[in-house]
Structure 1
Amino acid sequence: MKELALQAGVSLATVDRVLHQRPGVRAATQRRVQQAWAELERQQQQVGLRGQRLLIDLVMEAPTRFSRMVRGALDEAMRRTQPAVFRARDHLAETRSAEQWVAVLDGIARRGSHGVLLKAPDLPVVADAVARLQARRIPVVTLVTDMPSAPRLSYVGLDNRCAGQTAAYLMDQWLGAHCCDVLVSSSGQRFQGEGERIEAFRVALAAARSDCGVQVLDAGQGLHAPTVAAVGRLLTRQPWIAAVYSVGGANAAIRAAFEQAGRACRVFIGHDLDDDNLALLRKRQLSAVLHHDLHHDLHLACHLLMQHHGAAPSAAAPKRSNVEVITPFNLPANLSR
């Protein structure tokens, strides 16, 4: 009653009369006490939700430079997302076999989790492991690359087809009258997102101009040394390559391979604002980076998990993140130094 009196700004005696429906209290005062009661109930519900702790698992196969970006964005999202309190366990690797994927996901299913944030190849055995997580009522949100064959809760990340089309448009504009082949470098088309980017790029570039061939290099796994070697071998075999669309990273390695071969790269379009790409942009060694806001994506992923556990109201299905074209002149404010 003391809290109610304080919330309503009236005396304990007045609260007592209102609660017991005794006479002598003005109608406006009665309404104020009733409103204060409703407000205290709402606050109590929020306190209960704020106490709900969600333990989630971040499971990724990606180069360390990208995993570090995602983990930083997740840390910020967990701090910002209210009212639940998040804690995360990391399962990060640069490469994994299919058997290792199954072991990681089945281990989470045995231990239990409030949710899994997943960047994984779209393989049948991985989709089956996701189904086993769902059978244990552990929701899965796919990040960056989707797994539509798996029973995931939602996909959060870039519209990869839009990204590929955007890269083709920029490539056509910037090559102008120059005729050449384009190297499309992928860390592995086991990932559906990279496959979507490549196919959309192929189709859009072919529609814009027939004088540019596309040479897809599915090697290197986004790692530096293997990528330098693989790109070097391709440049030796393909003398007409003079532009790059890198969907899978390791762009410093691609640039190094061109320099070792003594070859010019007229247009170089990459993805993601990691440290390597920021350095290349500032040195004008990348034409542009196709960027999407990982902080927004991870915040949305946390919110979806809260919704699943009843700690947040339901909302419309999330839209895929739009692509931003970043040059040295429009870097995000926190990265422009």
Structure 2
Amino acid sequence: MADIAGRAGVSLATVDRVINRRKGVKERTRQQVLEAALALGFLGADEMARFRDRREANIVFLLPAGTNPYLRDLGDHLRQRVALREEGSPKVRCFFIEGFNAPALAEAIRRNADWADGIAFFAIDHPAVREAVAEVAANGVRLVTVVSDLGHSGCDAYVGHENRSVGRTAGLLIGRFIAERQGAVALVAGSRHYRAHSEREAGFLSIQEEMFPHLRLVGMREGHDDSGQNYRHTIALLDQNPDLRGIYNVGGSSGGVARALAERGRSDVAFIGHGLTKDTRNALVEGVMDAVFHTDPETLIDRAIGAICQPERQVLPMKLEIVFRENLP
């Protein structure tokens, strides 16, 4: 084994992990070790075939806990995957981590790395999370961010939309809905610690300044993807800005915003949010909400699993699905 390590240019511990089929070794390194073992006669051709038949991958999804209906729906889809798992398919686990808590997410990444070959997680852009990612990635665990990315983080892939263009699309739609009317436009978010939310905000602000300078922008409110908080923020926005013309919820739990608009009879306010769930579907049907940007949960899960199990495949940004009342699926 020491000869194999020397020939492959790796440590003896790495050779031990490969020979004993343990996780924590990058695929290219694993192949180098196996080729060295074959060349030195440590493994025969028949044994090599056994090593090339890799076991099913262990995959963990880490999602934020809370009242966000879309994330709950995503969790339900993952639980169905676990219950209906077929022979030979990846073994999937899903855990909900306290939302907006970077140390809790970092700890969960480290803890689950002991079992997982790959971890897909809803990223919080924070030093504690980036440090955990670097440590776990160095041990050969593949890391994939979903919906919200970390940027320059050492992760292997990102599965989701190009969020700055999503924000610009929302700004364009709201600006067109409002047309030439003067007034205020407001943004509601979960938290700027989610890169997806800050990028959507940046995209929205850029197109408003570029194409709709007659609209007054109201500072973004953070509702932590909680329906009750979003409801209270919307009531405050309506009270403080009688000329409010549009709201873009860059995060989740849009039902709280819709409830406030309905109670005040403000169907004239253009309203766009994310995630087609029971509450946003009702808001579209009732005419309180104008458009929903949606990511199909099954497609998101498939792409995340594919990014972990097939690292050679390029992961492209997901196409944006825009749902209006008239094209509800």
- SS of residue matched to 2:150: coil
Count of aligned residue pairs for this structure pair: 281
Residue 192, structure 1, aligned to residue 189, structure 2: no
Alpha-carbon separation, structure 2, partners of 1:209 and 1:160 = 20
CA contact (8 A) 2:70 2:276 kept: no
- SS of residue matched to 2:215: coil
Residue 68, structure 1, aligned to residue 65, structure 2: no
Residue 100 of structure 1 deviates from its aligned partner by: 1.6
Structure 1 residue identity aligned to 2:125: D
Q: Residues 166-205 of structure 1 correspond to what in structure 2 (within 5 A)?
A: 166-205=169-208
CA contact (8 A) 1:242 1:264 kept: no
CA contact (8 A) 2:186 2:220 kept: yes
Residue 297 of structure 1 deviates from its aligned partner by: 2.5
Cα 1:207–1:77 change in 2 (3 A) is farther
Residue 123, structure 1, aligned to residue 126, structure 2: yes
Residue 255 of structure 1 deviates from its aligned partner by: 2.2
Residue 153, structure 1, aligned to residue 150, structure 2: no
Alignment match, 2:323: 326
Alpha-carbon separation, structure 2, partners of 1:303 and 1:47 = 23
Alpha-carbon separation, structure 2, partners of 1:231 and 1:222 = 13
Structure 2 residue identity aligned to 1:323: L
- SS of residue matched to 2:272: strand
Residue 243, structure 1, aligned to residue 232, structure 2: no
Residue 207 of structure 1 deviates from its aligned partner by: 1.0
Alpha-carbon separation, structure 2, partners of 1:282 and 1:94 = 32
- SS of residue matched to 2:282: helix
- SS of residue matched to 1:317: coil
CA contact (8 A) 1:50 1:85 kept: no
- Give me the identity figure in percent: 22
Deviations 1:6-45 (A, max 9, x none): xxxxxxxxxxxxxxxxxxxxxxxxxxxxxxxxxxxxxxx9
Deviations 1:244-292 (A, max 9, x none): 1111122221122234556454211111112211111122221111223
Alignment match, 1:32: none
Deviations 1:122-149 (A, max 9, x none): 1011011111111221111000011113
Cα 1:89–1:161 change in 2 (3 A) is same
Q: Residues 216-255 of structure 1 correspond to what in structure 2 (within 5 A)?
A: 216-255=219-258
Alpha-carbon separation, structure 1, partners of 2:50 and 2:294 = 37
CA contact (8 A) 2:166 2:320 kept: yes
Cα 1:239–1:304 change in 2 (3 A) is same
Alpha-carbon separation, structure 2, partners of 1:46 and 1:295 = 33
Q: Residues 49-60 of structure 1 correspond to what in structure 2 (within 5 A)?
A: 52-60=55-63
Alignment match, 2:38: none
Cα 1:329–1:287 change in 2 (3 A) is same
Structure 2 residue identity aligned to 1:147: L
Residue 104 of structure 1 deviates from its aligned partner by: 1.4
CA RMSD of aligned residues (A): 2.8
Cα 1:75–1:97 change in 2 (3 A) is closer
Q: Which moved more, 1:112-121 or 1:46-55?
A: 46-55
Alignment match, 1:86: 90
Match of 1:271 among 271, 274, 281: 274
Alpha-carbon separation, structure 1, partners of 2:87 and 2:165 = 34
Report the TM-score, using the length of structure 1 for normalisation: 0.75
Structure 2 residue identity aligned to 1:194: H
CA contact (8 A) 1:182 1:215 kept: yes
Report the TM-score, using the length of structure 2 for normalisation: 0.77
Alignment match, 1:39: none
Q: Which has the larger radius of gyration?
A: 1
Residue 46 of structure 1 deviates from its aligned partner by: 12
Deviations 1:61-110 (A, max 9, x none): 2544122222344467789999941222222145242322222122113x
Structure 1 residue identity aligned to 2:175: D
- SS of residue matched to 2:57: strand
Alpha-carbon separation, structure 1, partners of 2:188 and 2:78 = 27
CA contact (8 A) 1:228 1:256 kept: yes
- SS of residue matched to 1:196: helix
Give the gaps of 5 or more residues in structure 2: 1-47
Match of 2:259 among 253, 256, 278: 256
Deviations 1:147-178 (A, max 9, x none): 11311010001121221111111112111121
Residue 286, structure 1, aligned to residue 286, structure 2: no
Structure 2 residue identity aligned to 1:249: G
CA contact (8 A) 1:81 1:303 kept: no
